[in-house]
Chain A
Amino acid sequence: MKDMTWIKGQPSPYELHDLTHFPDWRGLIVWDAFFNNLTSGLMVIIALTALGTARVFGWLLPYALILAFLILAVDLVLLVADLGDPWRFLHSLRVFRPTSPLSVGVWALTGYAICLFLAILTTWVPALFGVPHAVGLHMAMAARMFTTLAALCAAAVICYKGVVFSCTSQPGVKNARWLTAFMVSDSLLMGCGLYMCLAVFLGAGIANAWLMVPFHILLLIRFGTFWLLWLDVAPRARRMHRSNAFIFIMVYIVGGIIAAALACKGGQPGILAAAALVLITGVCERGWIIGLTRPL
């Protein structure tokens, strides 16, 4: 191009702004991401605790499964309601396309929902209606099997959710290579926090004593993955939020972690406060990350 002074400082109207279409990710999508991660994180924690330390967590299992299922139901409603044509959701069950993260997610969610439902059925039916001893043994085995399968599907559900955002061309998240890792660690943390709440409400203090150390470790891992995620999205965040972004985010995330860690020392109210803090942080973080895709 010739050096024409009149061109300098005059970008074309099609330059200097996002080229992609903003897919209107807000509201429902943020809550969908939150509940999706919450139920799947809870399920993985349920499986790890119930199958690993059954004598402590075994009796919490039926209630925890119900809780996970209720959150999953909310998530599924949000997922479908967000579609442009919700009645056509079934079309996504006609095919499996591994190159599409949403297709992977839909099938993982379907498997998770079915296995979780069967786990609840095989756990609650003997307890509510009573069955012969031999049948009860088989149902207990089936319950363990379905719980394990549900946890495996839940693990797939957690992993797809980050990829569904990061493997796009949307500014802000397209460079977020650590988004999936962050969502995985955060969903397990939220699941752990929610499980501790459930234990508080059901009066299972011993369960909380066992979960305290994992909760703190997950807090640290979540901080690490968030830091890596921040390095990926910082340029976009600085453009969107100006120079205060780094300070704000660090105060918010570090403060949240320290507050949650300290709150745990405060007995049962402290545990509830720590869990609430982790859940609120989870919603805000998802809103913030997804908000980075908004046009400048």
Chain B
Amino acid sequence: MSSLKERIFAVVKRAYPGGEPAPNGRLDPVYALFRRYQPRPAEQELAYFTDTSICSGCKSCEMACKQWNQIESEPIRWSGDSYDNTFDLSAKNWRHVKFIERFPEENPANRPAPKTIDGLLREEKAGQWLFMSDQCKHCQTSPCHEACPTGAIMRNEFGGVYYQTDICMGCRMCMAACPFGVPEVSPETGHSMKCAECYDRLRDGLTPACQLACPTGAIEFGPRETMLEKARARMRFLHEHGHPEARLYGVGEFANYSGLNSFYLIMDKPEVYGLPAEPVTPTTFMPGDYLRGIATLVVCAAAVAACLMGTIL
């Protein structure tokens, strides 16, 4: 067992010292409908680190996700965009491998193959083929969590954002709030769905299915600090080996958005991968929006009242 896995197990064991958590049996007064359990205390944050520079676009992560979570496949449609026929993250696609082809019309053939890895890395590129395995970002301050009116969306003890589909009423506010376009209401069930961070596997001390299935090690999962160290080390390596375009996405806080618990090493600007360069937390504007509304209400009501009392006339 790798040391990283041991560290993940250590986090999980701290959360569940006695094994599977038992309901605490507390009942809120008045009515059984209002019964709820106390959330588990926060543990160390776990995070995904996806290194797109070594992603091979094999879609093993997509398959593993569907298999573990028992999500049925959608009918095949052809996007016309390289090998991407998944189209988008959705209620049935919690993982989405993106393909970005960038090749010239004429590709120089019959060139001699480099003899070393360094030679391969320094080789003048005639084209680019970018892959990215995308998923829910499990934002540290998640707009979907803030927008949910039922409490169906919760933050689990590992810092992941988890949707309780047995509570969700399908209001679609999480869809509207997410700046990354992750959650979607399933047309079949009417409930919102997205990556669950394999919460059930985590509780049993297993790593997420997508991470386990990734053949190149592009998807890593573990304590956030460890993942940050790996991400920074990998970026340094790429910079030193002729890839100054490598950059990290979601590691730190954005100007108007929190950091992510699923961050990426990407080889071009975020927009190329369909990521917002500067996501914004929608609730940032809430006080101002309410205030403008209330001020308008006061002005209108005062005008009407003044007219009715005859002070204007």
A residues lining the B interface (CB < 8 Å): 1-2, 4, 6-7, 10-15, 18-21, 23-25, 44-45, 48-49, 52-53, 83-86, 88-92, 94-95, 97, 99-103, 106, 155, 158-159, 162-164, 166-170, 174, 177-181, 183-185, 188, 192, 210, 213-214, 217-218, 221, 225
Contacts and interface: CB of A to CB of B under 8 A. Distances in A.
Interface stretch (B3-11, B18-26, B284-292): B284-292
A20 B181 contact: yes
Nearest to B102: A7
A194 to B, nearest CB: 14
Contacts of B245: 1-2
Contacts of A83: 169-171, 190
Nearest to B267: A1
Contact of B169 (A89, A179, A225): A89
Given A14-B100, A169-B280, A217-B304, A100 B167 contact: no
A54 B55 CA distance: 73
A20 B179 contact: yes
24 contacts: A1-B245, A6-B102, A14-B98, A14-B272, A24-B172, A44-B297, A48-B301, A48-B304, A52-B309, A85-B190, A90-B33, A97-B148, A102-B147, A158-B297, A159-B294, A163-B290, A164-B173, A168-B147, A170-B176, A178-B292, A184-B297, A218-B304, A221-B300, A221-B303
B212 to A, nearest CB: 26
B58 interface: no
A13 B272 CA distance: 8
B292 A177 contact: yes
Interface-centre pick from A10, A15, A180, A217 (highest chain B CB count, 10 A): A180
Interface stretch (B37-45, B64-72, B149-157): B149-157
Given A12-B272, A159-B294, A88 B176 contact: no
B170 A85 contact: yes
A94 B169 contact: no
B237 interface: no
Nearest to B132: A14
B1 interface: no
A157 to B, nearest CB: 11
A217 B301 CA distance: 11
Interface residues of B, number: 85
A91 B312 CA distance: 47
B274 A94 contact: no
A88 B148 CA distance: 13
Interface-centre pick from B100, B167, B268, B296 (highest chain A CB count, 10 A): B296
Given A88-B170, A94-B151, A179-B289, A15 B190 contact: no
Given A169-B143, A221-B296, A45 B304 contact: yes
Contacts of B146: 97, 99-100
B271 interface: yes
A218 B300 contact: yes
A109 to B, nearest CB: 11
Contact of B150 (A2, A21, A94): A94
Nearest to A86: B169
B253 interface: no
A101 B285 CA distance: 12
Nearest to B268: A1
A137 B313 CA distance: 33
A92 B282 CA distance: 21
Interface in B162-185: 167-173, 175-185
A105 to B, nearest CB: 8
A213 B313 contact: yes
Nearest to A84: B170
A219 B168 CA distance: 40
Interface-centre pick from B84, B150, B190, B303 (highest chain A CB count, 10 A): B150
Contact of A102 (B149, B175, B282): B149
B293 interface: yes
